[in-house]
Amino acid sequence: MLAWTIYLSFAGALVLALLPKGKPGLARVFALLIAAAGFAIAVAGFAAGMGHGRTTITDVMWVPSMGIHYMLAADGISRVLVLLTGLAATAGVLFSWNIEYRTNEFFAFFLALIGGVYGVFLSFDLFLLFVFYEIAIVPKYFLIAIWGSTRREYAAMKLALYSFVGSAMVLIALLAAYAASGSHSTTLDFLAHAGLSPHFQMWAFPLTFVGFGILAGLWPFHTWAPTGHVAAPTAASMVLAGVIMKLGAYGCLRVAMGLFPHGMDPWGFSFVGIGSWRDVFAILAVIGILYGALVALVQTDFKFVIGYSSVSHMGFVLLGLMTLNQIGLTGAVLQMYSHGVIAGLLFAIVGRIVYDRTHTRQFGDLERMHLLRRLPFAAWAFVIAGMASMGLPGFSGFVAELQVLVGSWHATPWWTVAAGVGIVVGVAYTWRALQKAFFTDLRPTAEDHPASGWHDLGAITWPEIAGFSLLTAATLVVGLYPRILLDAIEPAVKTFLAAGGAQ
Amino acid sequence: MNYADLFRAMLPETALEIAALLVVVVDLAFLRKAALNTRAAIAALLGIVGCLAGVWLMQGQGVATFSVDGTPGTALLVTGGYAAVAQIAILILTAFTLVLLLDSRFTRHVGEYVAVVLMSATGGLIICGAQDLLVIFVGLELLSLGLYILTAFAKRSGKSAEGALKYYLFGGMSAAFLLFGFSYLYGFAGSTNLQEVFAAIVAPDVSSSPLLYVALVAVAAGLGFKVAAFPFHLWAPDAYEGAPAPAAAFIASVSKVASFALLITITAAILPSRWSLLLVILAAASMFAGNLAALAQVSVRRLLAYSAIAHAGYMLLGLAYFSDRSRDALLYYIVTYALTTIGAFGVVGVVERATGTDRFDGFLGLNKRNPLLAAVLLVLFLSLAGIPPLVGFWAKFNLFAAVLTTHASGLSFALVALAVGFSAVSLYYYLQVLKRAFVMAPTDESRIKVDPVVMLVLLLIAAAVVVLGCFPALLQNWIGIASKAF
């Protein structure tokens, strides 16, 4: 059933490309229907999959002579991430309701991107996974380059090239693994049990991890993220931060760690306490957490704050992956979901609700606009989203980051302390942004006065309220009752660890 | 040797020749007063019929070898096997390039143009099945001479003449190299037959002779010119830029298919490792030079030329690590690459006619001026860059997998890694064109009209690129079955 999310999105993209131009309303409604249908299927698939382990959706030979399967399957991790994609897609369409320029094409690219993302999360054949992974690159480029803002062509090209370089690294590892395992098949199951030599895994693991990690915002390969997020139109930022970065993290988990577990074995020597690739990536993750948070603290552009905060939050995902224990990995997957929803919400507020009305994101300008009075909805929405982003109890981020930290404490206590500092800085930059953008204490001067050229900011529209409610509910429900997702994630992580990711 | 059998084996070539003569006669005798459009349409139609007749005549051919006295040591030609795959591809691709004539206005002598294309394609057919150095050389020259003429066909264009002259001078020199190398090989073997040559050069006293290196380097130079491998690529950008669009499409596709088929024959015949080493050097150099030089281009035709050099580099990798599997993968690659390139030149030709330039700026706002054409361009260029699910990605994956399966070593792995890395580089320059077409604001919003038949064929090519990418097994199985028969 879940496979229909993929087909529906691609079919929707195709139909949108062919719909008559000049009827943006029709395109919007149609895109919303497709996205919502995908979300509904994702929810239904999630509910139906409860209590089941991995279920195969389809498995047919694609290229018999090379043993490539068209194999779609879903386990708890996939189902959670498909659910997240459905959420992000629906919210993305809602927050793009005001796109008037080349509307059909916008939603066509958007749905094509979403289709590729669904495909990655459901593929259990490495070749197929890679195909979907690359399908997602091109729509991203056009979404940013055509509908973006600040330095959009630069950012779009940077993102496309970073993604493509990352996927080239993955492709090299894929080719090598295929050849090294005797050229029989490319299914994940086969490759995982092909008995690839530890020596091979020792270099294939970092290659794949970095290749996917680039898209997950792995420091120091994260630099596409702030520029890309900032330049992208709101829906694309939401999807970039919400799901595309998860593609990278998911690839790290499913492919790098799943296929090459021995790549994380100790090297046999250690240098300043680093004795394996696992240590290397854990440290990079912690640096990412701290670096992203500290840089976010000094930004003058509202959207850059959120952009760097994404790097910081994704560091928790990567740190969680590198704990290699049940609680840490569970936390990492939950953090993928949590950050996907919260970052989507933050970008929606900054990009759609604020920027599309004020046409500036500079704190210096926003401070003089008194948005608390003029856009109270935006202010209070950001208060809620900010609390979620800080990791306050009651929101999904709290459960996720706590689990990552607990898992990481078991593995590497000192780095956990550093990561904890990152959370504190996270509170600081969120407060700073909140204060500068909404709760300013500057008094309006004469030239700022409404009579002297303040234009009307426009009322909050229903799609914005709907999108906001959807995402807030998504983070609150999981924050208040985390078992709803944990019941799906925990068994899947247990199976994953038992299959070889364990030490 | 039975001449009736030989004639039967040469039926497709004969069909092309007859079609070529017929086109000239019909055009000169009956259509003197007709409008140019009509003449072009009839000439192209006759040419296409000739090509399809050639394909039809190939049906009856089995796998056979034709030799002077019946022994393999005197073989001249083979039919069937991978040669048949390449020949069918050549015939179909020639038909596609002839369609592009309908939307071009570079000459009034359409009959002659079509005739030269068909004769040139005949040369291509011959070298696919040739097993003898002399037959190879004759076929190659037949192909090349036609290409020089085609490049020069736009008589009013200075660039066309310049490109043709460069092409001709380099071509003449490389033919001399090739002949020089062949003469040494003949000196070793006392025979022009490839099998005899192989038997001679593996003998201990010859295989260590420095003269063998001279011979192989000379042959590599001659053939490297044909496939535009670095450093024998200098003609390519000028010829691609100067030649009329349909002729450029022909040079970039049909001539490449034939040349790679020939390289397969030669590589299969002389397997020694030093030949591989030569190919490795050419491959790595072509990937480097082609991709890096393409980054700096502002003309789409020159961009396609440099990207062709890069693609030749990837394909030479498949030859350097040669096996049945990499041969099939290479055939898949060259056939699909040629198809994609024809489409790309088709789009370039249309845009050039409408805007008067093939520079990037000519593509500004193509999406607005003709969405369908822009969509075709998107599909073809992304396929060239190797983005799934388009056929270019599959061709690359298949080829590199075959290379690693054939020979797993540090060097082969490093070369594949290099090739994959350069694919990432190539995305940049393909996106530069697509950026003009889709992202940047148009300077002129008037609609670009395309001849409906040309548009149909371009759509067909784009559809084939998508379908073959999604269902790669279709073509792959056919190539596998057909080439195994050899």
Exposed (0-12), middle (13-18) or buried (19+): which is A441, by Cβ within 10 Å? Answer: exposed
When pLDDT is averaged across residues A350-374 and rounded to a whole number, the result is: 79
Cβ atoms of A300 and A226 closer than 8 Å: no
Spatial distance between the Cα atoms of B238 and B165, rounded to a whole number of angstroms: 10
Q: Quickly list DSSP for B360-373.
A: GGGGTTHHHH-HHH
Residues of B in contact with A62 (CB under 8 A): 472-473
Question: Phi, psi (5° rounding) for residue A125?
Answer: -125, 130
Among B382, B413, B476, the residue with its CB nearest the CB of A176 is B413
Instruction: Determine whether the interchain pair B435/A66 forms a contact, defined as Cβ–Cβ distance below 8 Å.
Output: no
At residue A503, does pLDDT exceed 70? no
Spatial distance between the Cα atoms of A57 and A71, rounded to a whole number of angstroms: 7
Q: Could you read off the pLDDT of A239-297 as tens digits, one per residue?
A: 888 888 899 999 999 898 888 888 888 887 878 777 888 888 888 999 999 999 999 88
Structure tokens at B320: 């350097």
Spatial distance between the Cα atoms of A177 and B408, rounded to a whole number of angstroms: 11
Cis (ω within 30 of 0) for the bond into B388? no
Put simply, the chain B residues between 434 and 453 with a CB less than 8 A from any chain A CB are 435, 438-439
Among A131, A145, A161, the residue with its CB nearest the CB of B435 is A145
Structure tokens at B125: 């057919």
Lowest mean pLDDT among A43-52, A56-65, A149-158, B59-68: B59-68
Cis (ω within 30 of 0) for the bond into A64? no
Q: Does B389 touch chain A (CB under 8 A)?
A: yes
When pLDDT is averaged across residues B473-486 and rounded to a whole number, the result is: 76
Instruction: Determine whether the interchain pair A131/B388 forms a contact, defined as Cβ–Cβ distance below 8 Å.
Output: yes
Q: Quickly list DSSP for A107-120.
A: HHHHHHHHHHHHHH
- The structural domains of chain B, with segments of one domain joined by +, span 1-266, 272-486
Helices B158-189 and B235-242 sit at what angle, rounded to 10 degrees?
140
Q: Could you read off the pLDDT of B258-305 as tens digits, one per residue?
A: 999 999 988 888 766 678 888 899 999 999 999 999 998 889 999 999
Residues of B in contact with A208 (CB under 8 A): none
B201 to A80, A366, B190: CA distances (angstroms):
64, 80, 11
Cβ atoms of A347 and A238 closer than 8 Å: yes
Instruction: Determine whether the interchain pair B428/A172 forms a contact, defined as Cβ–Cβ distance below 8 Å.
Output: no
Residues of B in contact with A151 (CB under 8 A): none
pLDDT of residue B77: 83
Q: Which helix (H) or strand (E) holds B182?
A: helix B158-189
At residue A453, does pLDDT exceed 50? no
Give SS3 for A239. Answer: helix
pLDDT of residue A447: 54
Tally C-beta pairs within 8 A across A and B. 79
Residues of B in contact with A13 (CB under 8 A): none
When pLDDT is averaged across residues A422-438 and rounded to a whole number, the result is: 87
Query: Where does the pLDDT of residue B203 fall: very low under 50, low under 70, confident under 90, or very high at 90 and above?
Result: confident
Spatial distance between the Cα atoms of A457 and A208, rounded to a whole number of angstroms: 47
At residue B1, does pLDDT exceed 70? no
When pLDDT is averaged across residues A44-64 and rounded to a whole number, the result is: 84
pLDDT of residue A454: 56
Q: Could you read off the pLDDT of B110-153 as tens digits, one per residue?
A: 888 999 999 999 999 999 888 888 999 999 999 999 999 999 88
Residue B425 per-residue DSSP state: H
- Cα A42 off chain centre by: 17
pLDDT of residue B344: 93
- How many angstroms away from the CA of B268 is the closest CA of chain A? 22
Residues of A in contact with B387 (CB under 8 A): 134-135, 137-138
Write the secondary structure of B321-341 as one string of H (helix), E (strand) and C (coil): CCCHHHHHHHHHHHHHHHHHH
Beta strand segments in B158-271, E: none
Q: Does B423 touch chain A (CB under 8 A)?
A: yes
Give SS3 for A69. Answer: strand
Spatial distance between the Cα atoms of A372 and A363, rounded to a whole number of angstroms: 14
Nearest CA in chain B to A131: B388
Give SS3 for A117. Answer: helix
Among B431, B477, B480, the residue with its CB nearest the CB of A157 is B431
pLDDT of residue A452: 42
Instruction: Determine whether the interchain pair A175/B400 forms a contact, defined as Cβ–Cβ distance below 8 Å.
Output: yes
Residues of A in contact with B398 (CB under 8 A): 66
At residue A502, does pLDDT exceed 70? no
Residues of B in contact with A156 (CB under 8 A): 439
Instruction: Determine whether the interchain pair B400/A66 forms a contact, defined as Cβ–Cβ distance below 8 Å.
Output: no
Query: In terms of Cα–Cα distance, which of A217, A240, A170 is closest to A316?
Result: A217
The 10 Å Cβ neighbour count of residue B459 is 16
Residues of A in contact with B421 (CB under 8 A): 165, 168, 172
Cβ atoms of A259 and A192 closer than 8 Å: yes
Q: Could you read off the pLDDT of A7-24 as tens digits, one per residue?
A: 888 888 888 888 877 788
Instruction: Determine whether the interchain pair A164/B424 forms a contact, defined as Cβ–Cβ distance below 8 Å.
Output: yes
Give SS3 for B297. Answer: coil
pLDDT of residue B259: 92
Among A66, A134, A156, the residue with its CB nearest the CB of B388 is A134
Query: Where does the pLDDT of residue A455 fall: very low under 50, low under 70, confident under 90, or very high at 90 and above?
Result: low
Residues of B in contact with A171 (CB under 8 A): 397, 420
Q: Could you read off the pLDDT of B308-319 as tens digits, one per residue?
A: 999 999 999 988
Query: Where does the pLDDT of residue A119 fall: very low under 50, low under 70, confident under 90, or very high at 90 and above?
Result: very high
Whole-number average pLDDT of chain B: 87
For an interface test with B, give the residue of A66, A132, A186 to mutate (most B CBs within 10 A). A66
pLDDT of residue A446: 53
Q: Could you read off the pLDDT of B429-466 as tens digits, one per residue?
A: 998 899 888 888 888 878 888 888 889 999 999 999 99
Q: Could you read off the pLDDT of A282-320 as tens digits, one per residue?
A: 889 999 999 999 998 888 888 888 889 989 999 999 998
pLDDT of residue B261: 92
Please list the alpha-helical segments (H only) found in B365-451: 366-369, 371-385, 391-406, 410-438
- How many angstroms away from the CA of B338 is the closest CA of chain A? 22
pLDDT of residue B340: 94
What is the sign, positive or negative, of the torsion defined by CA atoms of B43, B44, B45, B50? positive
At residue B38, does pLDDT exceed 90? no
Residues of B in contact with A183 (CB under 8 A): 401, 405
Q: Could you read off the pLDDT of B329-382 as tens digits, one per residue?
A: 999 999 999 999 999 999 998 888 888 888 888 888 888 888 889 999 999 999
When pLDDT is averaged across residues A375-397 and rounded to a whole number, the result is: 86
| Residues 6 or more apart in contact with residue B67 via CB below 8 angstroms | B1, B73, B74, B75, B76
Instruction: Determine whether the interchain pair A64/B473 forms a contact, defined as Cβ–Cβ distance below 8 Å.
Output: yes
Q: Does B288 touch chain A (CB under 8 A)?
A: no
Percentage of chain B surpassing pLDDT 70?
99
Whole-number average pLDDT of chain A: 85
Instruction: Determine whether the interchain pair B389/A168 forms a contact, defined as Cβ–Cβ distance below 8 Å.
Output: no
- The structural domains of chain A, with segments of one domain joined by +, span 3-445+456-501
pLDDT of residue B8: 80
pLDDT of residue B138: 92
Structure tokens at B255: 């001539």
Cβ atoms of A471 and A93 closer than 8 Å: no
pLDDT of residue A451: 47
Cβ atoms of A12 and A110 closer than 8 Å: no
Residue A125 per-residue DSSP state: B
At residue A449, does pLDDT exceed 70? no
Query: Where does the pLDDT of residue A444 fall: very low under 50, low under 70, confident under 90, or very high at 90 and above?
Result: low
Cβ atoms of A210 and A169 closer than 8 Å: yes
